[in-house]
């Protein structure tokens, strides 16, 4: 865990809090921090509890095919656990050279140095686009600052945070661990705009989608008449929408989004974005 922009003496206060409360509540931590964020300086690291490490990785459904990037990786315990217990590859991004050496040594001692890479870098400048899972234990201000970068990652990428949220980007799942929470987000595909759908019940019509993170709204436009969506769900690159046609029959479109195209798994319908949102 990295905290940035500390007032003098707050490092001592934070470490004392961590000793008394191994899983301090968000309100306890946030009351300590009032100074603005200063990238790459005044960093304090507090290790993620082992129980939280396990649940973060389990909640993110980490497996052998995953690359787990831990931002502010500290002693490397999250990426090492991802490799040892889940068979994944790990990328730790840590600013402190001392912690980088400690975590590299721990990876070697743990027998996973071939699957875990620790780099010394500022997490705001590092390239972790190849990751399929991103883990965080950072203050909300840092999570929000990272949010645009996370939202540019491949749809379906899992982002999991211990204790702290992402501002107004609501989590897809939440799990309670002792006195704190773990949050999971799936990076949503960008689907806002006007789509031309073919092969569905009406043969050809327009679908207008409005989007705020993974939350969707919109309407189907059939023969010039607008029909509100009765269902609209987005889970990574998987989309499902429903509307009622002119005959009062509920029509459901479920498929996968790939850039400016989407299509059902069986190929019965497809859509092309003709106007971005």
Q: Using one digit for the tens of pLDDT, what is the confidence trace for 68-117?
A: 999 999 999 999 999 999 999 999 999 999 999 999 999 999 999 999 99
pLDDT in tens, 196-214: 999 877 779 999 999 999 9
Residue 246: pLDDT band by 50, 70, 90 thresholds?
A: confident
Kindly tell me if the per-residue pLDDT of 41 is higher than 90. no
Phi, psi (degrees; rounded to nearest 5) at 148: -60, -40
Q: Are 63 and 87 in contact (CB under 8 A)?
A: yes
pLDDT at 75: 94
pLDDT at 12: 41
pLDDT at 14: 43
Q: Rounded distance, CA 179 to CA 181, Å?
A: 7
Q: Are 269 and 255 in contact (CB under 8 A)?
A: yes
Residue 13: pLDDT band by 50, 70, 90 thresholds?
A: very low
Domains recognised in the chain with CATH numbers: 2-186 (3.40.50.150), 193-276 (2.40.128)
117 or 179, higher pLDDT? 117
Task: Tell me the pTM.
Answer: 0.84
Phi, psi (degrees; rounded to nearest 5) at 232: -155, 110
Kindly tell me if the per-residue pLDDT of 26 is higher than 60. no
**Mean pLDDT within 116-145:** 96
Residue 47: pLDDT band by 50, 70, 90 thresholds?
A: confident
């Amino acid at each position: 865990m990295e905290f940035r922009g500390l007032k003098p003496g707050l490092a001592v206060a934070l470490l004392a809090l961590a000793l008394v409360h191994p899983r301090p509540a968000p309100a306890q931590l946030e009351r300590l921090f009032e100074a603005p964020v200063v990238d790459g300086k005044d960093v304090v690291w507090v290790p993620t509890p082992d129980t939280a490490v396990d649940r973060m990785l389990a909640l993110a459904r980490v497996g052998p095919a995953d690359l787990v990037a831990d931002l502010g990786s500290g002693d490397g315990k999250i990426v090492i656990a991802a490799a040892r217990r889940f068979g994944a590859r790990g990328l730790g991004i840590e600013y402190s050279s001392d912690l980088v050496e400690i975590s590299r040594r721990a990876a070697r001692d743990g027998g996973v140095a071939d699957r875990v890479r620790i780099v010394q870098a500022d997490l705001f400048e590092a390239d972790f686009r190849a990751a399929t899972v991103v883990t965080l234990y950072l203050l909300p201000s840092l999570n929000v600052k990272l949010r645009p970068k996370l939202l540019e990652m491949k749809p379906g990428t899992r982002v999991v945070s211990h204790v702290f949220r992402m501002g107004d980007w609501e989590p897809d799942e939440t799990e309670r661990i002792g006195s704190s929470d773990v949050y999971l987000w799936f990076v949503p595909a960008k689907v806002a705009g006007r789509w031309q759908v073919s092969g569905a019940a009406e043969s050809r019509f327009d679908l207008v989608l409005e989007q705020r993170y993974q939350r969707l709204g919109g309407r189907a436009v059939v023969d010039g008449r607008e029909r509100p969506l009765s269902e609209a769900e987005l889970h990574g690159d998987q989309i499902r929408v429903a509307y009622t046609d002119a005959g009062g029959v509920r029509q459901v479109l479920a498929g996968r989004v790939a850039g400016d195209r989407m299509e059902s798994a069986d190929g019965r319908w497809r859509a092309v974005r003709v106007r971005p949102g």
